[in-house]
Structure 1
Amino acid sequence: MTASTAERPGDVKAPGRIFTTPPAHVKDPGAEKWWAYTAALWMLIFAGFHAYWALGGTFGLPPGETLRDNLPLFIIDIIAIPMNLGGAALALALVQRWGLHIRRFWLLLGGWGCAALMVVHALPAMVGLAEFWLDMRDTPLEGLERFSLLVYEPFWMLGGVLFAFASWYYQRRTRPVTS
């Protein structure tokens, strides 16, 4: 959805740009904006970890693991950094006025797409996590599997939930008025 070019009280016209006030039917995000801000922070934290790991850091990785010794993971890490930064910008676009210059369809597609990707990524591990907490596993968790199940996958699920709520509130807040 783009901002309307019809004049309204309080509009400020910038040279070569559309008016800067939102259309009348777009509500202020209010407290709901914190879902999007937290999703953006989630993305920035993840981008920071990927940059740290790409530079050789090991905190947050399983003991003895480094990306320098694993070229495929290193490449994935390098690709993940700009993707996470883009995800942070997407989350902010859901609540910032400058996001109104992007079509509503694209923001919803991106927001719901991020939510779905993260939830689908983490969902199978959530079953394993439930088995772990309910003491239904036949074998103990060790090494990379333990790290993945207890740290990595729940973090993905958290990101998916944050993007789902941010997208849902954006969708409700920007829904066109029907007569």
Structure 2
Amino acid sequence: MTIINDQTYIDKILKGDTNAYAFLVEKYKTMVFTLALKMVKSREEAEEISQDTFIKAYKSLSKFKGESKFSTWLYKIAYRTCLDALKKTKEQYSVDVIDEITINKIKSTESVLEGIERKERAQVINSCLLSMPEEERSILWMFYFEELSLKEIIEITDFSESNVKVKLHRARKMLLSIVEKNVEPELINHYGRK
């Protein structure tokens, strides 16, 4: 139903009804802004990237063929716009503190962090994610926190399926290794005895 609704508005826009674009912006502005905020350091830059994304999408709307969901196509534009912004500023992006629900999605890390209070775990994971290379961090974020499918990640990143799987596997191992190095054994033992 979402695809039909999106396509209906896309058709209206392509026929000259520019006001119909407001529906798509309203529907997807949170998704685009959230991605941008995860990939860049400031809200202001994330807002700029969001605006750029919607402008680029509007200008390229005639190229959308409906082979994927509109949201995936838009996510890809947002992702590329974020990468372009990061290249220009050469700054590392920041990941907001992960909430207690999201942190449970990384099962291999969970065993290392068992017993540590939720807030401390979120801070540890956040810090560890920040020390990872950009591509691995992005793929982990998309797969675990945005819950995108492998197919969607492949479409967004333009990596092959095997490349995404390898990067995701390496990123999991890298995150686990970073967590193990950054969490003091005494802290794990202290909480483990409780």
Is TM-score (shorter-chain normalized) higher than 0.5? Answer: no
- Give TM-score, length-normalised by structure 2: 0.26
Normalising by structure 1, report the TM-score.
Answer: 0.28
Greater Rg by CA: 1
**Whose relative contact order is higher, 1 or 2, with alpha carbons under 8 Å and at least 6 apart?**
1
Structure with the higher fraction of residues in helix conformation? 2
